[in-house]
A and B are shown apart, each in its own frame.
Chain A
Amino acid sequence: MSEPIVRYNNVTKYFDDLQVLDGIDFEIQPGEKVALIGPSGSGKTTFARLLMTLEEITDGTIEVEGDYLWHEQDDNGDLKPASTDHLRKVRSNIGMVFQHFHLFPHMTVLENVMEAPVTVQGRDKKEAKKSAEDMLDKVGLLDKADTYPAQLSGGQKQRVAIARALVMDPKVLIFDEPTSALDPELVGEVLDVIKDIADQGDTSILLITHEMDFAKEVADRIAFFDGGKIIEDGPPSEILYNPQAPRLKEFLERFMNTQSSPE
């Protein structure tokens, strides 16, 4: 097996006195699609937000392609907190799609997708426009290029957000409950786009979701979080149909019972 693209080493996170992650070790391989499931408050979102540098790590290290994300090595090889430049360099490998989209409301759809390539990567405007249009085409929204986000449906907003993240060509793409804020009839179009990315890309995917059927369809591996730990971790068939940990069994049972429309 090749070098993992992401590696968590004994990662711990506290919010003040509250421990949300408890010494987590975890690896993601290049191109691997990993779904994170678990009850709310189990730490799965914080786990992903640490990788996106939206929360600061309390203890342990995260490596991305062998580089420390939150740390730098000084001349003696000791770890010290990363400088802003170092953090940005390593972070450039990671992208994220949020539950509530967070599109830039003052920019058109096309500008939303073009903004970071031009401003952050310093790419030529014409060329960035071309890639942005390609991405919008990919998510089926090229015809909405000149509209503002306020005029889009939730599903369309999320597809733009996906295009905006993809255009930066991240090696790892995090989806934080990408369909949880959507009306039920709009979930499908977003899942289709994510499925396409998963199928064609060599992008690694970290998908936080409550859509078990979708997790099964997309993920190579599912990790079950509870109480700040990864309790069980394996291929979807094992995790969903042959769970070992009692808490996972309980979680899945409760989950199946609350599903209104079993397929």
Chain B
Amino acid sequence: MSFWELIVSLLGQGLVITLLTTVLAAILALVLGFIGGLMRLSKNKFIRFIVAIYVEVFRGTSLLVQLFWIYFVLPMFGLRMSALTAAVLAIGLNYGAYTSEVVRSGIQSVDEGQTEASIALNFTRVQRMRRIIIPQAFIMMLPNLGNQLIELFKSTSLVALITLTDLTYQANVLNATTLQTTQIFTALLVIYFVIAWPMTKGMKMLERKMTEGRM
């Protein structure tokens, strides 16, 4: 196997893990973000309090420490998991905390008149959220959600530190074995950019498509 074939093969394997981690963590973050954001708007003080603690804990500590904690400390309490599971869990929980704030402010930014019109048409609270408020809030959340997705994608490079064989991990391995530091880390840089850039464009397109002629 030639040098370049080796690079492409290893980085390719790493890229698959990176993308898998990104997709799974993003789904978890989005689900947690919506649940958390809606709970934050609950009338019940206790429910709001629970979410506030979740958000503050995960915002107030670094993702790297959270990764370490979930992968290395939880097993001491008998909670053992694969590096991939730990990575998805840590990143999902961390970004879910931020996303819940995006969701909350998105929902709050929908004009009060929309709620009043829904009440006048006798929607239940759930119907109002599902049919009227969230679809409009979602459009306003899109730019922020898009930024977060890209941040999340880039943050997956940290999972190399809990032995998950992602793109960055493989680059490190290659660097250690071939010592072609310049080529390998430049390739790494380019790969991250080539993935992130279309993501940005894609989110912009989605935004435009969803607002076309409507807002």
CB within 8 Å of B: which residues of A?
52-54, 84, 88, 91-92, 94-96, 98, 100, 102-106, 115-116, 119-120, 148-151, 164-165, 168
Bound-state CA distance A44–B124 (Å) is: 27
Q: Closest CB-CB distance, A155 to chain B, in whole Å?
A: 18
Q: Closest CB-CB distance, B131 to chain A, in whole Å?
A: 6
For chain B, which range describes its interface: under 10, 10 to 19, 20 to 34, or 35 or more residues? 20 to 34
Contact residues of B between 134 and 165, Cβ < 8 Å to A: 135-136, 139
Bound-state CA distance A208–B175 (Å) is: 76
**Contact between B122 and A116, CB atoms less than 8 A apart:** yes
Q: Knowing A104-B114, A120-B127 are in contact, say whether A52-B139 is a contact too (CB < 8 A).
A: no
Bound-state CA distance A94–B117 (Å) is: 12
Residues on A with beta carbons closer than 8 Å to the beta carbon of B135: 106
Residue of chain B at shortest CB distance from A148: B214
**Contact between A52 and B120, CB atoms less than 8 A apart:** yes
Residues on B with beta carbons closer than 8 Å to the beta carbon of A168: 121-122
Residue of chain B at shortest CB distance from A94: B120
Bound-state CA distance A255–B15 (Å) is: 73
Per-residue A-contact encoding for B93-115, CB less than 8 Å = 1, 0 else? 00000000000000000010110
Residues on A with beta carbons closer than 8 Å to the beta carbon of B120: 52, 54, 94-96, 98, 165
Residues on B with beta carbons closer than 8 Å to the beta carbon of A148: 213-214
**Contact between A104 and B122, CB atoms less than 8 A apart:** no
Bound-state CA distance A116–B114 (Å) is: 13
Partner of B122, one of A54, A88, A149, A164: A88
**Contact between B119 and A53, CB atoms less than 8 A apart:** yes
**Contact between B214 and A120, CB atoms less than 8 A apart:** no
Bound-state CA distance A105–B133 (Å) is: 11
Q: A54-B120, A148-B213, A151-B213 are in contact. List 15 more A-B contacts (CB 8 A).
A: A54-B119, A84-B124, A91-B122, A94-B120, A96-B120, A98-B113, A98-B116, A102-B117, A115-B131, A116-B122, A116-B123, A120-B122, A148-B214, A149-B214, A150-B215
